[in-house]
Structure 1
């Protein structure tokens, strides 16, 4: 196995492990939105390894679906709502968590199967991730407001790195990276950092308390619309 393949496998293995660890940590905190979302990322990484190392075609199909979920219909929206637990006091009832994931999974299935929108998928993924990035700018400001400067800086770095990955993913291949191994190795490390840093930044805001509780009633009303 060439060095590029080894680095790619190592990066994806780190991603699968990191996302699993912090997904379980989020579940332990009772944040099922972020916990399950992180585990979806872990499943994507594990499925890639199954495909690459075991030559199992089903691994590729699972990874492709999880990737579409994380970048489009599910990930950005679910991540924002999950992080709002410490920015806006948002605590969804359990049935609403299930509803969100079911709707996101159905939307993802429709998106990946609809050939008519194939040309629009890359733009959709980029727009959705950009919405998440805009939210994270506010997240950084809240961290700075409670003097969690180290995590504010960490989330800012994660934001820029992940947005760069999102912008390059379907539009700007690295020169000489025909198999895209270098890109995916880089993407795996960026995502690992995102998974870890958002957890610790979440904990920092959780410890600081925050003024999000006053927004909770508004979100209760939002759930009634569904």
Structure 2
């Protein structure tokens, strides 16, 4: 049974790596840096997790495995706190609200999100030593206490926008993609709710069943987002499409 769980875990991880890499690149080809880079960050996080799992039992590689796992946790914090809830949703707003940030704004989006992820990781008990004299401050303990709720609130906001995005798809007759987004939204919200608050019955100490479900859900969400994005894009009014192309060309010229 343990062998089967390991195989399913590795398969789900590879699925997420493939989805994040492929569709991240496809979003970049559509000149949507926000969605493209966030998908690639998810793929990098999953890659670190994969090699961490493969190396943990190899003699002499335990330290490397722990480093890779730490990298995965940092990028996971990035995506849960703002990567998907803010950056990816801002990327979807290219279609829903004709939002096309400047290159400087995009850099600020990512810089601020990486800084926030760094704080969220630093306040964990095992990492507080890097904070020096502030390690046991009231603020650090307060951030650690509210961190699970912060992640849940941020993902819930993401779910609200995904529901709106699905509604926009239904409005233009793309019912299949609308339902795929709603399905992915419900699954991802379930994972976000379980993450810090519940344990799946029968799961092991490494949370293998949870990781199988989470990795598979995020991979499905990535795939569903790309094809739903394409579906809404091809149904935009001609004036909106022209405005979108004009904004992208203007931004490219400025860069």
Task: Give me the TM-score of the superposition, normalised by structure 2.
Answer: 0.81
Alpha-carbon distance between aligned partners in 1 of 2:31 and 2:40, rounded to the nearest angstrom:
14
Alpha-carbon distance between aligned partners in 2 of 1:149 and 1:73, rounded to the nearest angstrom:
28
- Cα deviation for residue 212 of structure 1 reads 6.4
Alpha-carbon distance between aligned partners in 1 of 2:149 and 2:162, rounded to the nearest angstrom:
20
Count of aligned pairs between the two proteins: 215
- Cα deviation for residue 50 of structure 1 reads 1.2
Alpha-carbon distance between aligned partners in 2 of 1:131 and 1:147, rounded to the nearest angstrom:
25
Q: Which structure 1 residue ranges, 5 or more long, are not aligned?
A: 217-226
SS at match of 1:2: helix
- Residue by residue over 1:46-101, the C-alpha shift from the partner in whole angstroms, topping out at 9 and shown as x without a partner, is 00011010232211011000110110133310011000011111111111111110
Where does residue 15 of structure 2 map in the other structure? 14
Alpha-carbon distance between aligned partners in 2 of 1:92 and 1:136, rounded to the nearest angstrom:
20
Q: Which structure 2 residue ranges, 5 or more long, are not aligned?
A: 57-64, 125-140, 245-255
Preserved CA contact (<8 Å) 1:69 1:108: yes
Alignment pair present for 1:70 and 2:58: no
Alpha-carbon distance between aligned partners in 2 of 1:102 and 1:133, rounded to the nearest angstrom:
23
Alpha-carbon distance between aligned partners in 2 of 1:159 and 1:40, rounded to the nearest angstrom:
20
Alignment pair present for 1:113 and 2:139: no
Q: Which of 196, 211, 219 is residue 192 of structure 1 equivalent to?
A: 219
Alpha-carbon distance between aligned partners in 1 of 2:218 and 2:25, rounded to the nearest angstrom:
16
Structure scoring higher RCO (CA < 8 A, sep ≥ 6) equals 1
- Residue by residue over 1:13-66, the C-alpha shift from the partner in whole angstroms, topping out at 9 and shown as x without a partner, is 111111110000000000000000001100110000110102322110110001
- Residue by residue over 1:116-160, the C-alpha shift from the partner in whole angstroms, topping out at 9 and shown as x without a partner, is 222211111000000000111111110000000110010010010
SS at match of 2:164: helix
Structure with larger Rg: 2
Flag as ranges the 4+ runs of structure 1 deviating above 6 A.
Answer: none
Preserved CA contact (<8 Å) 1:152 1:201: yes
What is the alpha-carbon root mean square deviation over aligned residues?
1.7
Where does residue 145 of structure 1 map in the other structure? 171
Alpha-carbon distance between aligned partners in 2 of 1:113 and 1:201, rounded to the nearest angstrom:
36
